[in-house]
Amino acid sequence: MLNLIPKPKFQEERFGEFVINSETTLYADDNLTYARDVLNTFIEGACGYKLPVVVSKQASIVFLYDRHVHKEGYTMEVNIDSIVIKASSSVGAFYAVQSIRQLTGGDLIENPDFLTLHALYIEDEPRYEVRSIMLDEARYFHGADVVKNLLDMMAYYKLNTLHWHLTDNEGWRIEIKKYPKLTQVGGIRKGSQTMAWGNKFVDWTLHEGYYTQQEIKEIVQYAERLNIAIIPEIDMPAHMGAALASYPWLSCSGKEIEVPIVHGGSPDKNGIGHMIACPGKEETTFRFIYDVLDEICQLFPAPYVHIGGDEAPKSEWKKCPDCQKLIKEKGLKDEENLQGYFNNKIAVYLKRKGKRMIGWNEILSAKKLDNSIIAQYWTFKRDMKVENYLLSGHDVILSKHQAFYFDMTYAQNNLKTTYAFEPEKYNLNSKTGGILGLEGCLWTEWVPTEERINYQLYPRMQAFAEVAWSPSEVRNYKDFIVRLKKHLQILDKYGIEYCPLSMVNQGGLKRIKAMSEFQNKNAHAEFNRAMSIRKKKKYRV
């Protein structure tokens, strides 16, 4: 069995072994030299030497341009005396290198003199264009090293998009030069609700942190080298508590507030219903948003900007004379369509900058949205508006709560559910062509450390990667688990915590208890049990 994750579209094992040693030579066509160099860097890291690069296509390992191969795909033929990789882009060739990394086990072996690959033939390409992980740093700032570590593992599993949630009620984590208070005020929280949604205990430890624009540029460049695009999320018009604490004039009331310490599931609960920007103050509110987006678009070359748009309470708008005046002037039906007006203005502004707007599926409640807008489907219940949006020819990204909300306990969103995901199970027709891709979401209300990030993500990320890349007909959960056990050794090697396999598919009373604990008392209970098992070495991988 080839221990590859994600599983290739087609694979065939053959007889023999190819040996990589200090005499192995490398060749690449001009537009594939980056992948060649990535492979050579990997060989140097594993074996301590670089392979000689030659100008002859008779080299031991060759990267050849083939325009017929999918833009992110590759073919690879390994015989006893050669490896021939064909790709139409540097991206596809890069993914071939990730497969070589996995097949040689070079990340695991200590100081090898040589590496080997079993003879094989692979044809491979991704099922979805967007294969994304979302990291929320608005709740807890983790820093560049944590993000880079995540990017490294994403590339290893052929994921190509990081959705970076950088602002919310509880924190603003990116420097905006025109509005310095966003980080000076909005980047600092006096305390944090730390236990569970139903447990209002507050730890009064100050939490702060943000990325300078220079740090953002460095992380974006790091991601680009891994063929990963970073989509920033700047939440609006709701989830703007940190921004309103920084600049109160953005709200309908102008009331001064502090950066919230309590997490709000439904924005009208916990006293945070007023934390929404005022579209009625058109000149000031939209000037602020455009200024912020100007700086954001300069920092992130990806073709998308996410604006959130979810869980937007309308209570403030209903009693705001400026909002009511705008509704009347524009002939809008109600406050829901006022948000649609807001979203359309942002979408058009972003289009002028060569970007498309993404928003969570609640934005579809408004009528006549701009055709460029991409909806991201996250909500737990069936949403006919999403289904109709797809059928009408619009684009959607799927991050269905039941399968891809990785902040949930494994008891609630287990590994089998993630691996078994198919759009049709949620009344979505994958044949319509409007599904841009899939995203696994990690919100961090209860994720204060890198150790906890890793626990929530692994081994879910491996399962998600296979769902996003591999065609459904080659996927098999039992086969995946056999391969996964080998990959857990990689996580052990790099000190990455993960959920023991004994806990990834809990059922019965244990499942019910774990879900209740998470929601009402202690969101860390399952994690603490898992870490106890791992530290006692009583788990089996």
By the 8 A CB rule, do 32 and 65 touch?
Answer: yes
CA distance 444 to 142: 10
Task: Based on the residue annotation, tell me whether 23 is a catalytic residue of this protein.
Answer: no
188-200 CB burial, b ≥16 within 10 A, e <16: bbeebbbbbbeee
218 — phi, psi (to 5°)? -65, -40
For 10, the token pair is 């087609």
Q: Which residues contact 322 (CB under 8 A, 6 or more apart)?
A: 252, 278, 280, 281
Task: Break the chain down into helix, strand, coil percent, rounded to 5.
Answer: 40, 20, 40
Q: Is 328 helix (H, G, I), strand (E, B) or coil?
A: helix
- Of 373, 523, 532, the C-alpha closest to 443 is 523
Q: How does strand 207-208 pair with strand 188-189?
A: antiparallel
CA distance 172 to 240: 9
Cα 17 to the chain's mean position, in Å?
A: 36
Edge-to-edge strand list for the sheet holding 83-87: 10-20, 115-124, 74-78, 83-87, 61-65, 26-28
CA distance 492 to 105: 13
Which one is catalytic: 168, 170, 175, 235? 168
Task: Based on the residue annotation, tell me whether 30 is a catalytic residue of this protein.
Answer: no
Q: Is 353 helix (H, G, I), strand (E, B) or coil?
A: coil
Q: Which residues contact 468 (CB under 8 A, 6 or more apart)?
A: 6, 126, 127, 128, 131, 159, 437, 438
**For every residue of 60-88, which 3-state class applies, written as one string?**
CEEEEECCCCCCCCEEEEECCCCEEEEEC
CA distance 499 to 484: 12
**DSSP 8-state symbol, 143:** -
CA distance 237 to 341: 11
Neighbours of 53 (CB within 10 A): 14
Which one is catalytic: 311, 322, 336, 370? 311
By the 8 A CB rule, do 195 and 201 touch?
Answer: yes
Which one is catalytic: 142, 165, 239, 394? 239
Helices (H), 300-391: 315-319, 321-329, 335-352, 384-391
Task: Based on the residue annotation, tell me whether 517 is a catalytic residue of this protein.
Answer: no
By the 8 A CB rule, do 21 and 113 touch?
Answer: yes
Would you list the DSSP string of 240-292? Answer: -HHHHHH-GGGBSS----PPP-S--SSTTSTT-TT-SB-TTSHHHHHHHHHHH
List active site positions. 168, 239, 311
